[in-house]
């Protein structure tokens, strides 16, 4: 860790279980900010509610810790109001794909300039172990003693077909690759998704080894420009978690981009309202 | 002249809207004040709808029950709306159905004069102009102005049909008592609308973004922002649902932008959690709730005041909020500026209540923007670092900065938090102190709430108490009752929460007047003042309250 990473350290006691892989995501994110030369004031973290969504409290930067499921719309509002901020969402599989599922789909289409990091532990950890949208069918969870019946949601495939131009999966057991993915996502214009496989060591839907056996980097010859093969790889999540950059296309116009350009990237907080003269004229 | 009330009725797509607008503009150009409103079914084609116009020398900005003239473009409309005609009034319809009716086959007139039945509504407009005693040239040129885009043939066809309708009706009306609307050398005040005034008022108040999901009767607010982007400069986005709408507005506002959303009851229900979020994170937010009758989908295109108690109580937990309710465009403009100012100053959600009637009605009323001034309360710098977003202060208001403004970090949390914005579980000190800090803001807010508008002449027997959209109807009812020997006063609320002061009352009979089925205002007033009511005038058929409606029910219950 470089000396610089202290820039984002903050003395707030963590509510996470000791040893949780969430800490890896946290440290990797701080390192990535540092590597990109960002300062705390440049960043705005937005989260919902869950274990994952507590992350903003543990980094020194601006943050808005909102409601369960609603991180993306809040972040979209932030990105619309101030294009100079690096807006990052940290969220869980329940927060993002469950309660916030509709926002997830539409954020992909709307394409705000946001980096979306999902701690995917296939469980609702904070509420004590219920199934999440990414829980595999047949697995036992707090409210599914006989095993879940619905098939899991496939966030990567959904993102690829919904117009997202940066789709990646990381694994907390491979922090070097995770750092690369975070940095690439943070510099991608428009919405970028990094779904992070994050074992929960307390509720243990699976033992750590189970993840290690399944997580594999995407093959070297995978071409992230090739949408069809990205989708094919994304569909293959039964036995293997392929990690890495699935899909990256040229950025499409970001949400509110033309408005930002017209206003010379001035934050809305600094813009003027309608003048008295113009108001009077419009009311005639 | 006194005043004249007219209804143009027909099926959607038959041109009722065009006739209404053309008559409105022409009457204004002749020097008259016009008040217009609409009632219509929730469908795109078919159904029977009406456009109501009240023409007078001085502005009379309230709906009325009975019409001097009803123009029915088809017989179904004549059946549905014929009862609106006053005893000595006139029904213009394709066939004669009663003693008030003049039969005029608009399609045949159009066909004979212009060669096409599609000009029937121009013939009808001509007939209406004749029956109203208007200057036909004025109406004709307004009609022409609307069809120039469609080419010379269309203009000529409309003109011939208009003339045929006009001449025909002039001959038929000779024997009747019909209105007379001669040119006046007067310029009426501006033609204004409540939702338009809210949109312009918001832009003037520095609103930079609106996020909304379409829902009648609120859609025309974001519609104004979209159609008038070049003028108003308010960024707008149609979002996936109302939950997204309110959360985006909160995100933008947290980031320092003045932001708003607008919806109707169903969408407002979805926003309730977001309202609570704005309360907890102390994020300024303006929400317009344009009411329609519920529950659930209710009557989508009709009017009601049934969401008063819901608006007052929306959002779980305890936090300060402000609820305002204009009755006309002027109040709407100034209350919108006040809403943004107060949201910013007190870092709290402000709800503006309107309804379908206000959404669609046009008033003759000037708005003087200079009477309100946008005030900005964002802190320009941190006076005693380290910056703490929720610093505890005497009035409960913490200096608000925006993220990215400076090296001071802005941390907001929906969990109970400490002064710096971090989650707390400290039940001994921090949590109660934070709850108290938020609630202390109410004391300061209360100072900006004026006494309820009161016009109670001495020795009044009756007081009518109402809020929001029914304002002018209350005054007309009081006037009628007073003229009939029952001296009546009015108390009208435009500020509903924090609850305003009331002047001392002298034992008058108190009636609440509400456009809904439960006496919700009466409940609020009783709760806040202990006053008890003699009764309530309640209207819940989806139509707006009128002076006569109120007067009749008061007389019945005395
Ligand atoms: C509207 C609402 N519904 C339910 C909850 C309860 N709740 C809080 S977090 C959570 C699930 C979190 O799961 P996930 O996002 O996967 O986060 P994790 O704890 O697993 O990191 C639920 C159901 C809530 N806070 N708000
Ligand atoms: S419950 Fe699971 S996910 Fe949450 S902190 Fe503990 S180990 Fe991590
Ligand atoms: Mg989870």
Q: What is the pLDDT of residues A203-225, one digit of tens each?
A: 999 999 999 999 999 999 999 99
Residues B77 and B148 in one domain: yes
Q: Considering only the beta carbons, identify the residue of A15, A259, A273 that sits closest to B374.
A: A273
CA distance A190 to A181: 15
Cα dist from A255 to A11, A260, B210, B236, whole Å? 35, 9, 14, 11
Locus of tokens 């004069």: B113
Domains and CATH numbers, chain A: 21-282 (3.40.50.970)
Average pLDDT over residues B374-379: 98
Q: Considering only the beta carbons, identify the residue of B251, B412, B415 that sits closest to A75.
A: B251
Query: Closest residue of B to A268, CA-based?
Result: B257
Q: Ligand 1 mean position to B153 CA, how many Å?
A: 65
In this structure, the number of other CB atoms found within 10 A of the CB of residue B361 comes to: 25
Residues B220 and B312 in one domain: yes
Which residue has the CA at smallest separation from atom 8 of ligand 2? A20
In this structure, the number of other CB atoms found within 10 A of the CB of residue A223 comes to: 11
CA distance B339 to B201: 10
For the Cβ of A203 lying below 6 angstroms from any atom of ligand 2, the answer is yes
Question: Is B341 a member of any domain?
Answer: yes
Overall domain count for chain B:
3
Q: Ligand 2 mean position to A20 CA, how many Å?
A: 6
Domain boundary among B324, B354, B371: B371
CA B17 from centroid of its chain's CA atoms: 19
Residue B154 structural domain: 3-172
CB contact residues (below 8 A), chain A span 91-120, against chain B: 102-103, 105-106, 110
Residues B198 and B276 in one domain: yes
pLDDT at A169: 98
The helix or strand, by DSSP H or E, that contains position B511, with its residue range, turns out to be strand B509-514
ipTM: 0.98
Instruction: Tell me whether residues B423 and A54 touch, CB distance under 8 A.
Output: yes
Spell out which residues of chain B touch residue A81, defining contact as CB-CB under 8 Å.
Answer: 208-209, 251-253, 255-257, 259
Question: Is B349 a member of any domain?
Answer: yes
Question: Is B443 a member of any domain?
Answer: no
Secondary structure percentages of chain A, helix, strand, coil, to 5: 40, 20, 45
Residues B96 and B216 in one domain: no
> pLDDT above 70 covers what percent of chain B?
100
Question: Is B471 a member of any domain?
Answer: yes
Spell out which residues of chain B touch residue A106, defining contact as CB-CB under 8 Å.
Answer: 239-240, 244
Q: What is the CATH number of the domain that holds B273?
A: 3.40.50.970
Q: How confident is the model at residue A1 (pLDDT cuts 50, 70, 90)?
A: very low
Instruction: Tell me whether residues A105 and B413 touch, CB distance under 8 A.
Output: no
- Across all residues in chain A, what is the average pLDDT? 96
**Ligand closest in space to the Cα of B272:** 1
Residues B263 and B360 in one domain: yes
Cα dist from B464 to A103, B16, B32, B478, B511, whole Å? 47, 35, 30, 7, 5
> From the alpha carbon of A95, which atom of ligand 1 is closest?
15
Which residue has the CA at smallest separation from atom 1 of ligand 2? A125
For residue range B179-238, list pLDDT tens digits in order.
Answer: 889 999 999 999 999 999 999 999 999 999 999 999 999 999 999 999 999 999 999 999
Q: What is the CATH number of the domain that holds B526?
A: 3.40.50.920
Question: Is B411 a member of any domain?
Answer: no
Residues B234 and B164 in one domain: no
For the Cβ of A45 lying below 6 angstroms from any atom of ligand 2, the answer is no
Residues B328 and B365 in one domain: yes
Average pLDDT over residues A228-251: 92
Q: Ligand 2 mean position to A201 CA, how many Å?
A: 6
Spell out which residues of chain A touch residue B419, defining contact as CB-CB under 8 Å.
Answer: none
The answer, yes or no, to whether residue B260 has pLDDT greater than 60, is: yes
Residues B128 and B11 in one domain: yes
CA B91 from centroid of its chain's CA atoms: 29
CB contact residues (below 8 A), chain A span 264-283, against chain B: 267-274, 276, 278-280, 282-283
For the Cβ of A92 lying below 6 angstroms from any atom of ligand 1, the answer is yes
For residue range B478-487, list pLDDT tens digits in order.
Answer: 999 999 999 9
Which residue has the CA at smallest separation from atom 25 of ligand 1? A68
Residues B167 and B197 in one domain: no
pLDDT at B1: 59
What's the pTM?
0.98
For the Cβ of A16 lying below 6 angstroms from any atom of ligand 2, the answer is yes
pLDDT at A5: 58
Spell out which residues of chain B touch residue A54, defining contact as CB-CB under 8 Å.
Answer: 423
Query: Is the distance from CB of B358 to CB of B292 less than 8 angstroms?
Result: no
Domain boundary among B371, B386, B413: B371
Q: Considering only the beta carbons, identify the residue of A63, A65, A274 that sits closest to B204.
A: A274
To test the pocket of ligand 2, the residue of A25, A129, A200, A207 to mutate (highest count of ligand atoms within 8 Å of its CB) is A200
The answer, yes or no, to whether residue B496 has pLDDT greater than 50, is: yes
CB contact residues (below 8 A), chain A span 16-75, against chain B: 39-42, 44, 46, 49, 54, 56-57, 60-67, 70, 73-75
Instruction: Tell me whether residues B240 and A44 touch, CB distance under 8 A.
Output: no
Residues B202 and B307 in one domain: yes
pLDDT at A239: 76
Domain boundary among B371, B398, B429: B371
Residues B200 and B157 in one domain: no
Nearest CA-CA distance, residue B107 and chain A, Å: 38
Average pLDDT over residues A83-93: 98
Question: Is B379 a member of any domain?
Answer: no
Question: Is B211 a member of any domain?
Answer: yes
Question: Is B63 a member of any domain?
Answer: yes
For residue range A90-123, list pLDDT tens digits in order.
Answer: 999 999 999 999 999 999 999 999 999 999 999 9
CA distance B297 to B191: 31
Residues B18 and B64 in one domain: yes
Q: What is the CATH number of the domain that holds B136?
A: 3.40.920.10
């Amino acid at each position: 860790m470089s000396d610089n990473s202290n820039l984002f350290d903050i003395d707030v006691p963590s509510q996470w279980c000791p040893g949780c892989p969430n800490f890896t995501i946290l440290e990797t994110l701080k390192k990535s900010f540092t590597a990109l030369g960002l300062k705390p004031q440049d960043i705005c973290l937005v989260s919902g509610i869950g274990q994952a969504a507590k992350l903003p409290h543990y980094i020194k930067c601006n943050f808005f810790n909102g409601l369960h499921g609603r991180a993306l719309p809040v972040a979209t509002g932030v990105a619309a109001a101030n294009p100079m901020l690096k807006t990052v969402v940290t969220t869980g599989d329940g927060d993002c794909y469950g309660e916030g599922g509709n926002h997830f789909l539409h954020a992909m289409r709307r394409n705000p300039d946001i980096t979306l990091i999902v701690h995917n532990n296939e469980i609702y950890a904070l509420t004590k172990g219920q199934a999440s949208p990414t829980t595999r069918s047949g697995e036992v969870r707090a409210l599914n003693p006989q095993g879940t019946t619905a098939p899991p949601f496939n966030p990567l495939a959904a993102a690829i077909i919904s117009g997202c131009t940066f789709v990646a999966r990381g694994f907390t057991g491979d922090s070097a690759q995770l750092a690369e993915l975070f940095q690439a996502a943070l510099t991608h214009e428009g919405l970028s998704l990094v779904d992070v496989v994050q074992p929960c060591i307390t509720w243990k839907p699976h033992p750590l080894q189970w993840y290690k056996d399944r997580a594999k980097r995407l093959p070297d010859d995978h071409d992230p420009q090739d949408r069809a093969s990205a989708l094919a790889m994304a569909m293959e999540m039964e036995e293997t978690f392929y990690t890495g950059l699935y899909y990256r296309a040229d950025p499409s116009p970001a949400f509110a981009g033309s408005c930002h350009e017209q206003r010379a990237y001035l934050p809305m907080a600094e813009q003027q309202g309608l003048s008295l003269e113009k108001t009077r004229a419009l009311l005639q | 002249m006194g005043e004249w009330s007219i209804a143009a009725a027909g099926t959607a797509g038959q041109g009722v809207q065009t006739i209404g607008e053309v008559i409105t503009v022409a009457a204004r150009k002749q020097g008259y004040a016009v008040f217009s409103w609409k009632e219509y079914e929730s469908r795109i084609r078919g159904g029977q709808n009406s456009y109501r116009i009240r023409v007078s020398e001085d502005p009379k900005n309230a709906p009325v029950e009975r019409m001097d003239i009803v123009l029915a473009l088809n017989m179904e409309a004549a059946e549905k709306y014929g009862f609106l005609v006053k005893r000595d009034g006139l029904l213009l319809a394709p066939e004669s159905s009663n003693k008030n009716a003049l039969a005029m086959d608009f399609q045949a007139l159009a066909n004979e004069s212009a060669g096409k039945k599609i000009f029937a509504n121009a013939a009808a407009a001509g007939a209406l102009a004749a029956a109203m005693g208007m200057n036909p040239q004025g109406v004709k040129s307004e009609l022409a102005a609307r069809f120039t885009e469609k080419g010379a043939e269309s203009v000529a066809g409309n003109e011939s049909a208009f003339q045929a309708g006009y001449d025909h009706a002039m001959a038929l009306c000779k024997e009747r008592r019909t209105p007379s609307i001669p040119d006046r050398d007067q310029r009426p005040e501006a033609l204004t609308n409540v939702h338009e005034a809210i949109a312009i008022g918001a832009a003037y108040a520095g609103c930079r973004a609106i996020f909304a999901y379409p829902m009648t009767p609120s859609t025309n607010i974001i519609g104004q922002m979209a159609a008038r982007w070049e003028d108003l400069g308010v960024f707008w986005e149609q979002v996936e649902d109302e939950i997204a709408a309110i959360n985006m507005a909160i995100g933008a506002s947290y980031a320092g932008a003045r932001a708003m959303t607008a919806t109707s009851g169903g969408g407002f229900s979805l926003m309730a959690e977001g309202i609570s979020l704005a309360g907890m994170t102390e994020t300024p937010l303006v929400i317009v709730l344009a009411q329609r009758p519920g529950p659930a989908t209710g009557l989508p295109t009709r009017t009601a005041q049934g969401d008063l108690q819901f608006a007052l109580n929306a959002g779980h937990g305890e936090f300060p909020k402000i609820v305002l309710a204009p009755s006309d465009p002027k109040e709407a403009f100034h209350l919108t500026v006040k809403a943004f100012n107060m949201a910013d100053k007190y870092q709290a959600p402000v709800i503006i209540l309107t309804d379908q009637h206000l959404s669609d009605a046009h008033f003759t009323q000037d708005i003087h923007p200079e009477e309100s001034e946008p005030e900005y309360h964002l802190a320009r710098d941190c006076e005693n670092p380290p910056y703490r977003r929720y610093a505890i202060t005497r009035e409960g208001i913490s200096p608000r900065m925006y993220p990215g403004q400076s090296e001071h970090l802005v941390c907001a949390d929906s969990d109970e938090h400490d002064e710096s914005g971090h989650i707390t579980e400290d039940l001994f000190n921090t949590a109660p102190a934070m709850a108290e800090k938020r609630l202390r803001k109410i004391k300061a807010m209360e100072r900006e709430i004026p006494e309820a508008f009161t016009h109670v002449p001495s020795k009044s027997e009756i007081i009518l108490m109402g809020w929001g959209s029914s304002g002018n109807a209350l005054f007309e009812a009081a006037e009628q009752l007073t003229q009939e020997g029952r001296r009546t006063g009015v108390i009208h609320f435009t500020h509903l929460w924090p609850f305003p002061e009331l002047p001392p009352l002298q034992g008058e009979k108190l009636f609440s007047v509400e456009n809904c089925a439960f006496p919700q205002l009466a409940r609020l007033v009783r709760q806040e003042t202990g006053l008890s009511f003699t009764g309530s005038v309640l209207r819940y058929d989806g139509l707006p309250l009128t002076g006569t409606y109120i007067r009749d029910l008061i007389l019945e219950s005395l």
